[in-house]
Amino acid sequence: MKLRIGVLCYPSVGGSGILATELGMKLADRGHDVHFITSSIPFRLNAYHPNITFHQVEINQYSVFRYPPYDITLASKIASVIEAFGLDVIHAHYAVPHAVCAALGREMAGRKIPIVSTLHGTDITVLGEDEELKPAILYGLRQSNAITAVSDSLRRETLERIAPDLTINVIHNFIDESVYKPQADSALRERYGLNATDRVVIHVSNFRQVKRIDLVLEAFKLLNVPNKKLLLVGDGPLMGAMRRLVSEMGLEQNVIFAGKQEQVAELLSISDVHVLLSDKEAFGLVALEAMATGVPSVVSDAGGLPEVITDGVEGYVVARGDVPGATAALEAILLDPELHAKLRAGGLKRAGQFASHDIVNAYEHLYEQVVHR
């Protein structure tokens, strides 16, 4: 059944944008017409596809408004795309603002088009703490014809924080197996000044407080491993603060700031271990990407991370804030080749359980259900 699917997402770096974009591309490969309705082209939508159309939400500045009315403009754009292209279903990534805007756009268009809303974390774990926003989140979810969450942890938290009577399906994130796979790139190591004896720890994030890069730096400083290097990939509001912290710790010669990167598979492939010590993490897509490239992870026990990494099988799971525990886990992996090989093999096997084919099938089946219903 060929569908015309409208996709609402944040186009910037982040797990939700990555999933939305890669899911859209996979659906387009299967013959569906996919319409991205966003403020800019999603950063991973970097190639032409005949079945993908991008509709830009133009934000106009009017003196009557103190802040640009993005949500209203987005809803109007959704209505116009529904009318012009006869969409069959809208997939909103995030309850606020996208599910709410989808409901409003549907009302404007006067069509009973179904809405599928996917929860990625921030709309529940952060916005859900704001009592003023809870009614909007609940409205968006109740207006949805189906709700999914990227982890069982997030599903449970949504029921506890927002409403216990919601029906939420868990559909995990996935990786593109053609991109995330074991590979060697000695030229890339050389470009970053890495030699064969360097032991590389990698962290990838959007440099927000919740990612706790300060803890990553503390654990790395305590690391008693020769020729240690830390590769920090990403950018965000804490970039300046983290650069200062690296200087204060005297780690300038050991830490490499790689900046924001659209594709991280190559950077993961030149690393020995991945670390993510977040306070909150709905799923932890980068941990899955690391596994698929053959890189063990050390992660906190936040949110859905234990659903991705099994302690002692594909990597190690430590308590949130446990810097000594993270250091010990990193040392064990970096200093014991047999352990590294064991975790690598476990990770490659586990990554197969998040195959794109199965996850895309699950979404495709869900779309067909709500359209027929």
The strand pairing partners of 200, in sequence order, are: 229
pLDDT for the residue 65: 65
User: Residue 231 above 70 pLDDT?
Assistant: yes
Strand order in the sheet with 168-170: 52-56, 33-38, 4-8, 89-93, 115-119, 146-149, 168-170
Sorted by where each begins, the domain ranges of the chain are 4-174+355-372, 186-353
Q: Once rounded to an integer, what is the mean pLDDT over residues 17-26? A: 92
The closest alpha carbon to 282, from 84, 34, 1, 93, belongs to 93
Q: Predicted confidence band at 346 (pLDDT cuts at 50, 70, 90)?
A: very high
Q: How far apart are CA 332 and CA 349, in angstroms?
A: 21
Q: How far apart are CA 101 and CA 107, in angstroms?
A: 10
The strand pairing partners of 116, in sequence order, are: 91, 146
Q: Predicted confidence band at 48 (pLDDT cuts at 50, 70, 90)?
A: confident
pLDDT for the residue 63: 62
pLDDT for the residue 60: 76
Q: Once rounded to an integer, what is the mean pLDDT over residues 98-104? A: 97
pTM here?
Answer: 0.91
Distance set, CA 239 to CA 14, 96, 122, 138, 243 (Å): 16, 27, 20, 34, 6
* Cβ atoms of residues 356 and 288 within 8 Å: no
H or E, element range at 15: helix 15-29
Q: Once rounded to an integer, what is the mean pLDDT over residues 308-335? A: 98
pLDDT for the residue 12: 75
The strand pairing partners of 202, in sequence order, are: 231, 274
Continuous H helices in 234-355: 239-248, 265-269, 285-292, 305-308, 323-335, 337-351
Residues whose CB is less than 8 angstroms from the CB of residue 218 and which lie 6 or more positions away in sequence, other chains included: 323
Would you put residue 236 in left (φ > 0), alpha (ψ -120 to 50) or beta?
Answer: left
User: Residue 138 above 80 pLDDT?
Assistant: yes
User: Residue 128 above 80 pLDDT?
Assistant: no
Q: Write the DSSP assignment of 113-163 as a string of letters.
A: --EEEEE-SHHHHTGGG-TTTHHHHHHHHHT-SEEEESSHHHHHHHHHHT-
pLDDT for the residue 130: 73
Q: How far apart are CA 297 and CA 286, in angstroms?
A: 10
* Count of positions (residues) in the chain: 373
The percentage of the chain sitting over the pLDDT mark of 70, rounded to a whole number, equals 97
Neighbours of 30 (CB within 10 A): 13
Both tokens assigned to 239: 């970039």
Placement of tokens 């997939």 in the chain? 91
Count CA atoms within 13 Å of residue 98 on its CB side.
29
Question: Which has the higher per-residue pLDDT, 64 or 324?
Answer: 324
pLDDT for the residue 127: 63
Q: Once rounded to an integer, what is the mean pLDDT over residues 26-39? A: 96
Of 32-46, 108-122, 234-248, the one with minimum mean pLDDT is 32-46
pLDDT for the residue 184: 81
pLDDT for the residue 13: 58
Determine the CATH number of domain 4-174+355-372.
Answer: 3.40.50.2000
pLDDT for the residue 126: 64
User: Residue 46 above 80 pLDDT?
Assistant: no
Distance set, CA 119 to CA 112, 122, 189, 329 (Å): 22, 8, 37, 31
The closest alpha carbon to 205, from 89, 142, 290, belongs to 290
Q: How far apart are CA 91 and CA 222, in angstroms?
A: 45
pLDDT for the residue 230: 98
Q: Once rounded to an integer, what is the mean pLDDT over residues 264-292? A: 96
The percentage of the chain sitting over the pLDDT mark of 90, rounded to a whole number, equals 82
Q: Once rounded to an integer, what is the mean pLDDT over residues 137-161? A: 95
Q: Once rounded to an integer, what is the mean pLDDT over residues 172-185? A: 90
- Per CATH, 4-174+355-372 and 186-353 having the same topology is answered yes
Q: Identify the CATH class of 186-353.
A: alpha beta
pLDDT for the residue 52: 97
Mean pLDDT of the chain: 93
